[in-house]
Structure 1
Amino acid sequence: MNYENILISQENGIGTITINRPKKLNALNKATIAELHSAFDSLNKDANTKVIIITGSGEKAFVAGADISEFADFSVEQGTELARNGQKTLFDFVENLSTPVIAAVNGFALGGGLELAMSTHFRLASDNAKMGLPEVSLGVIPGYGGTQRLPQLVGKGKAMEMVMTAGMIGAEEAKQSGLVNHVVPQEELLPLAHKIANKIMRNSSVAIAHAIKAVNDNFKDGVNGYQTEITQFGICFGTEDFKEGTTAFLEKRKADFPGK
């Protein structure tokens, strides 16, 4: 598929998606959301892709928000459908991918941009990054999962403050709040993402997929995450990766996981 708004590459087990709308500070519009869904889906289905990194083009923005011009005149029904379709197509989709997804936040991550970063499995940030959910300053609330994922990451009180003030926080404050895991100078951001991705790839991709499901279920209403863990733990015993991992351990050698 030819993409107009994103760049996609795959090398040495790492798939990289770069949102490429620099004149719009990589703002999300419907077309970009659709392209991102396609790219994530394609990489997730590629057995050679073990980790996915998502970042923004340029040095200013990861994603500076949504393209407001697309929905400024929407009705209640259209607004509801916008949020529902967006969450299903991209944000929930990314969160539940079986392939680990790392967000490399290289600048502004505002509104839908922060919501996209929060839907990934964890986040790294450059030291110039700024993050926030400014939607209430436009008379609306975050609609792509922001009111749900932000409290999970930073706690209810901090999330309430960020949403109500519509303000931005810097990279270091984001790290202290648990919103991002690491902060580095911009030129070190992608190298760090690759370094962590390589650490992930030493392990069983099958086990990681089961771990993602178990961790995610802890945050789903009405789902018993402990039961999910028990089930996923048991499933692992029937995999080739489990046989290889335990055999390698007992033989005191490095495991060569087949990913099955």
Structure 2
Amino acid sequence: MSTALVTYELDGNVALIGLNRPEKRNAINEEVVWALHDAVVRAGEEADVGVLFGHGSNFCAGLDLKEALARASGEQPRPRKRTRHSWHTVFDGIARGPIPFVAALHGAVVGGGLELATAAHIRVADESAIFGLPEGQRGIFVGGGGTVRIQRVVGYTVMADMMLTGRLLNAQEGEREHIVRYVVPQGQALAKARELAALVARNTADTNWRITNVLPRINDLSHDDGLFVEYLTSNIPRPPEAAERLRDFVEGRAKPLAAPGTKSE
């Protein structure tokens, strides 16, 4: 295993990005978040899909509390000027960047780890995964985009319950609350995420961009504005590959879609 805080591997057209502080349960500090930034930017340049995962026994236990304590106690000086939160910048680069991301989740997926996971477009958990938002019990508040991303996934009542009571959700409960779309046996989340990433990579890059960038923005609009943006988007000139794919389908040469629960070709 690399000693880098974030590992990077290109497997064909899929970028594998791994949080690599297993001794700290992959807790995120500023060094980690900017290492993640570099990996995400690189993936956007040379891959068609990214996969996020955690080395060791956990995906991510969230914010490095030593760093949080240093800020809260004044040991870490405050910047002279306010800037955008680094986590917002980096996580938005995942959520609304040039390529889709699949997250492979296991062990602790709590606090900032859950905020990072919900920046991905598809999430897979193995049966060891637990989801939580312990900020209320730590005297702090979510700060990595969770008020927006997590709340839009699970709704206010679920998020409020998790924060107020410290309740942890298991993998099956996470699936029920739409945190994840797939639950697999322990140890198989990364394999399933890579399988899904390969399937997503079969789409055109243009279609994937529209799904990950246009679709969530339409969700934020009114009914009429949403339909208008859909109309504009559907009439943007398509790349030549789109016509080729449509011709393959019409003339019977298109690959069949993967059946539910099966691997794609």
Do both proteins adopt the same fold according to a TM-score greater than 0.5, normalized to the shorter chain?
yes
Q: Residues 89, 136 of structure 1: CA spacing in aligned structure 2 closer, same or farther, 3 A cutoff?
A: same
Distance of 2:211 and 2:62 partners within structure 1: 30
Quick check: 1:67 aligned with 2:64? yes
Structure 2 match to 1:89: 89
Aligned to 1:138: 138
SS of match in other structure, 1:183: strand
Question: Corresponding residue for 1:258?
Answer: none
In the other structure, the counterpart of 1:183 is 183
Structure 2 partner of 1:252: 252
Letter in 1 for 2:177: S
- Give aligned pairs, total: 250
Pick the structure with more helix per residue.
Answer: 1
Shift in Å, 1:218: 3.1
Let me know the Cα RMSD of the aligned residues. Answer: 2.6
* TM-score (normalizing by structure 1): 0.87
Equivalent position of 1:202 in the other structure? 202
Q: In structure 1, give the amino acid aligned to 2:233.
A: Q
Counterpart of 2:230 in structure 1: which amino acid? E
Letter of the structure 1 residue corresponding to residue 55 of structure 2 = S
| Structure 1 segment 215-254 matched on structure 2, within 5 A | 215-220=215-220, 224-235=225-236, 237-254=237-254
- The residue identity in structure 1 corresponding to 2:147 is T
Residue 83 to residue 191, structure 1, CA distance change in 2 (3 Å): farther
Q: Which residue of 2 aligns with 1:52?
A: 50
- In the other structure, the counterpart of 2:25 is 25
CA distance in 2, matches of 1:20, 1:87: 17
User: Structure 1 residue 227: deviation in Å?
Assistant: 3.0
**Larger deviation, residues 116-125 vs 193-202:** 193-202
Query: Normalized against structure 2, the TM-score is what?
Result: 0.86
Q: Which amino acid aligns with 1:226?
A: L
Q: What stretches of structure 2 of length at least 5 have no aligned partner? A: 256-265
- The code of the aligned residue for 1:228 comes to V
Determine the C-alpha separation between the residues in 1 that align with 2:242 and 2:137: 51
CA distance in 2, matches of 1:82, 1:73: 18
Give the structure 2 partner of residue 103 of structure 1: 103
- In structure 2, what is the Cα distance between the partners aligned to 1:56 and 1:211? 25
State percent identity of aligned pairs.
Answer: 29
Question: Offset of 1:232 from its aligned partner?
Answer: 2.0
**How big is each residue's C-alpha offset from its partner over 1:209-237, in whole Å with a ceiling of 9 and x where there is no partner?**
112112220344789443332222111x4
